A and B are shown apart, each in its own frame.
Chain A
Amino acid sequence: MTIAQVAPLIEPSRRIESTIAHIIGLGLLFVGIGLVPCVVIEAATGGNGVAALSITAAIFLISGGILRRATQIGRVRATTVFSAVALTWIVVSFLGALPFILAGTMDQPGQAFIVEVSNAVFEAASGFSCTGSTVISDLPDVGESDPRIGYGILFWRQLTQWYGGMGIVLLVLAVLPVLGVRAVGFMAAESPGVSADRLVPRMSETARRLWLVYVGVTAAIAVSFLVTGMTLYDAVSHSLTTAATGGFSPYNDSVGEFSSIPIEIAAIMGMLVCGANFALHYRFIAGDRRVHLRDSEFRWYIAFFGAISILVVGALWIDTGLSGSSLRAGVFNSTSLVTSTGFGNATGGGSPGDITLWIPAAQIALLVAMVVGACTGSTSGGIKIIRFRVLGSQARLAVKAARHPRAVLPLKMGPNVVPERTVEHITGFIVVWLVLVGFGTAFASVSGTDIITAVSGTISAMGNMGPSLGAAGPTSTFVDGFDTPSRLVLASLMIVGRLELFAVLLLFARPFRQLQGLNPRRPNRH
């Protein structure tokens, strides 16, 4: 039965009122469409994964179509928003693992099936959350082909990150009719940062424009990669993960595979652009050429990037002397981790780009970059600079308050007073973030991972970075550093981190479930 046959069976009047299912259905449809080019690429290059990709595409499109047809937008409560966003991501991450399972990508001799499945889920979660940590250690080199890991499968891996970058729910919002006052809530629940910037009053229009900018930026990055010497396939697949600040690459050595300074410079520029707020990019394109300079978060972002680069290159200078290769490795990896991308430019273990062998100070500077992250409204991860700015001002006020115990000291950023409510929200966010990092670290280290690999791997997962320090660095995989249960914990932390904690945590919070039926306020009906 095709969608066309099923559709008329469900009369609009008999559709079930479920906003959550409707949004999930639309999300599945959109992601399913992306599988079509993967099938084409796999078929054209003679890979073994054509059937796997086709079956997955069918599953995505049919289940998405049924959900969309059978349901309609209903009540939208605060709880609906978080559930819809979190569930969409969870469903997509599980179904997105299907191609890897069906094509046997994770198949290793002597490995249990359950481990294979969990590795596939890890890879998919790492993809959609734009993390970029991988469990595949034997990716083919340039020009080679491996029947197990075909070009189409690899393209799907890149594409998962691209979808996750700007956000699947945001894509859904672009086609949904008015959701009412709560619409901006969906965007806020998915997009990184403390505020969701509405470009135009209509939410669907805002979503459409942001996605258009995203597509445009991706295309521009692809062109810059083409110009600097990549093949079309390489350029497109790397541009997808650069725009998403994801960090997957079809090659083991990531960008290091090309050993090309122009390509690395193009990647650095691309990553920096995508670590900034896309609303700013939209306004820039719309004609406001100085909008970036006026934005204080953007200025702090550039300053932070500069500071981390200087700290890293400085430490490498002390360690090995100032050379072109340490400057190149330092700046590239600083950009990669400040923007939470996770590309590496190491050319195998022991090369200048292998961050796990750097002097400890440089590694600690990278760890700081991994925690802090980049801008609100970008595709990047981490805690975000703006949150640290607010709490940094808070710390300064705490010092001031000790000097003047009775003074009333409002927290100001520029001319505006930051409400107490925001400060507490940010404090709560950082605390929960740190608690989850502590939990992940304890879990992994009790399972036998050494402390540094455990803590940096957890931060890497929560902040959607990709590589960690220690045993799961850029030249190795997460199979080397973590056992299977720990990897599953990390995979869930990636989704939690991508959705900035609260959406997913609320699904499991007891008060939330109790309160779902008891909301005292009248729901918005449409």
Chain B
Amino acid sequence: MARRGDQRRVSFYAPPAAIAFAAVGGALLVSAAIDLTDEGADAVVLALVGAASAAAAFTLYTRFRSPPRYRAVQALTVLTVVWITMIAVGMLALGLSEVFSELGESRRWSASLFESTSGFTTTGMTALPDVDAASRGVLFFRAAANWLGGLSAVIAAIAVIPFVTRTRDIVDIDHTNEMTRRLAPSIDTGIKNVVRVYLVFTALLVVALIATGIGVFDGVAYGLAIVSTGGFSPHTASFWSERNAAAEWIAILGMLLAGANVAVIWWILRGSIGSLWRSVELRVYAFVVVGAIAAVSIGIAGPDDVTASRQAVFAVASAISTTGLVAFDWWSWGPGAQAILVLLLAMGPMSGSSAGGFRIRRMIVLWEVARRELVRMVFPRAVHVVKMSGRPLTDNTVRSVAGYLILHLGLILGGAYAIGLFEDGVRRSLVAATSAVSTSGLLIGVRAANELTEGTRLMLIPLMLAGRLAILPLFVSIERATATSAAWGRRLAGRVRT
């Protein structure tokens, strides 16, 4: 919306970056204020970086304005720019604070880059050697990073990508997309509604958590981390330290809801629950959750035990929602339960949530394609249409899901190879890569990422980013970068020739 006589230059990337700077700057200033309520060790650093970030936002805002509309490739590149901006500011704040000071100069910065990426991609693996020892300000900032990352992811998934890639009417054939379309009739209204739902959901969850008696600070920190399926915890032992059944059930409910499409939460908040069941994706999600809980409960030692079934439910919710909170010693469970958890975290929950993973909707599309192939083998000449919720899926959807499958698998296996150069054990490498690409943070065999080698952590950073950006924007950016450099190469070559 250019004002009359607006002297600012048009830029595609500066205005969104300004918003990112402003958001992270605001989060840092709040963190600094919260740090003052405790010992205040990091308050100055957080406040200074926050102020600098806010100043950067202001500078960009006064110099640049956004163009009237974005083309698909520009909008997708914007997403990459937004995340890199947030991660860079977060890295600066964490690197200057006291939390990584004992690691020495070089490792301090790699650890804070890891922590910041893990936060804003809603992964939730931590490089902190001792979370409990960190200052309140830093702990709050980590939770806020999760929250901002989750919010940005949902806005991107609901209100940006479907509009700019024109997949709004093609990909989303399920009933959830009917709901999504009402939630986000246009980009502006969509963003507004998503922020509103997200705020209400967070507030309700935080209040519920505090009501269980885990304390105001922990309630807020967990609330922010659960709503965004992030999974950063203010304690070294993650959720394990709470030992509070009510808090665990609230967290389970929160994680499962956070794994649902935001439109589903919107409809629940509005009270129209009846029509939700028409969504195939939601039904499959519920079915997978229930089935996995049953399988894991049978797989672990004491299924008759109430605590054990709560452990199973917590583990399933944490894995499928790609939150990655840890409440129990589940790396000591049998291989069957572990295999199910790894499959769940690779799958991920519904599309349109802040979670990562392959997503249930894509699984449904692939399943329908496979089923049709079997029928086609018998009747090669008949015309078959892949249907979802009774409506046909277009060839375009089928093709893009197939392409996505290969990108996703390639990313996991390529990442596992790179991690395998540094890490001990094939299982660890594969699980760490899957976990990072799904932005889950759940690891099996190690309690936290600080037990991984530094090389592994460096390899995990691009994987988390790729998983968060839903892969597609990242590859588009890379393709654009290579196309640009190829064009430059040609231009240079032409100049040399003449």
Contact = CB atoms under 8 A, between A and B. Distances in A.
Nearest to A314: B421
Contacts of A432: 370, 373
Interface string B244-265: 0000000000000000000000
A402 B334 contact: no
A399 B476 contact: yes
Given A363-B420, A391-B406, A512-B374, A405 B167 contact: yes
B420 A427 contact: no
Interface stretch (A204-212, A248-256, A442-450, A491-499): A442-450
B339 A428 contact: no
A63 interface: no
Interface in B385-431: 395-396, 398-407, 410, 413, 416-421, 423-430
Contact of A470 (B76, B426, B473): B426
Contacts of A14: none
Contacts of A455: 339
B403 A445 contact: no
A94 interface: no
Contacts of B166: 405-406
A395 B167 contact: no
Contacts of B62: none
Nearest to B342: A451
A395 B426 CA distance: 27
Interface in A448-480: 448-452, 454-455, 469-470
B429 A361 contact: yes
A442 B336 contact: yes
Contacts of B405: 391, 427, 430-431
Contacts of B406: 388, 391-392, 394-395
Contacts of A404: 72
Interface in A419-436: 420, 423-432, 435
Contact of B378 (A363, A364, A429, A512): A512
Nearest to B386: A424
A82 interface: yes
Contacts of B377: 78, 82, 502, 506
A425 B373 contact: yes
Residue of B379, B403, B425 ringed by the most chain A CB atoms within 10 A: B403
A411 B428 CA distance: 37
Contact of A368 (B400, B413, B479): B413
B339 A398 contact: no
B271 interface: no
A82 to B, nearest CB: 7
A311 interface: yes
Interface string A148-168: 000000000000000000000
A388 B472 CA distance: 19
A191 to B, nearest CB: 16
Given A363-B426, A397-B399, A403-B73, A445 B336 contact: yes
A452 B339 CA distance: 9
A424 B398 contact: yes
B479 A403 contact: yes
Interface residues of B, number: 64
A431 B369 contact: yes
A509 interface: yes
B70 interface: no
Contacts of B416: 360, 364
A398 B472 contact: yes
A315 interface: yes
Contact of A402 (B373, B419, B472): B472
Contacts of A411: 399
B373 A454 contact: no
- Main SS class of interface, A: helix
Contacts of A448: 334-336
Interface in A365-404: 365, 367-368, 388, 391-392, 394-404
A430 B367 CA distance: 11
A484 interface: no
A426 B401 CA distance: 13
B378 A79 contact: yes
B56 to A, nearest CB: 29
B73 A449 contact: no
Interface in B344-400: 366-367, 369-370, 372-380, 395-396, 398-400
B335 A427 contact: no
Given A311-B417, A395-B403, A402-B476, A364 B374 contact: no
Given A360-B426, A404-B72, A398 B400 contact: yes
Contacts of A367: 413, 426
Given A399-B475, A402-B476, A427-B366, A450 B427 contact: yes
A102 interface: no
A441 interface: yes
B335 to A, nearest CB: 4
Interface in B430-469: 430
Contacts of A430: 405
Contacts of A427: 366, 369-370, 398, 401-402, 405
A121 interface: no
Residue of B164, B166, B416, B417 ringed by the most chain A CB atoms within 10 A: B417
A448 B373 CA distance: 34
A34 interface: no
A187 B293 CA distance: 44
A228 B349 CA distance: 57
Contacts of B366: 427, 431
A180 B73 CA distance: 52
B407 to A, nearest CB: 5
Nearest to A393: B403
B343 interface: yes
11 contacts: A392-B406, A394-B406, A395-B404, A395-B406, A403-B73, A404-B72, A442-B339, A448-B336, A450-B335, A502-B374, A505-B374
Interface of B: 72-73, 76, 164-167, 295, 299, 334-336, 338-340, 342-343, 366-367, 369-370, 372-380, 395-396, 398-407, 410, 413, 416-421, 423-430, 472-473, 475-476, 479-480
Given A394-B399, A431-B366, 12 more contacts: A318-B421, A391-B405, A395-B403, A395-B410, A401-B400, A402-B473, A446-B299, A446-B336, A447-B336, A451-B339, A452-B427, A511-B375
Interface of A: 78-79, 82, 311, 315, 318, 359-365, 367-368, 388, 391-392, 394-406, 411, 420, 423-432, 435, 438, 441-442, 445-452, 454-455, 469-470, 502, 505-506, 509, 511-512, 515, 519
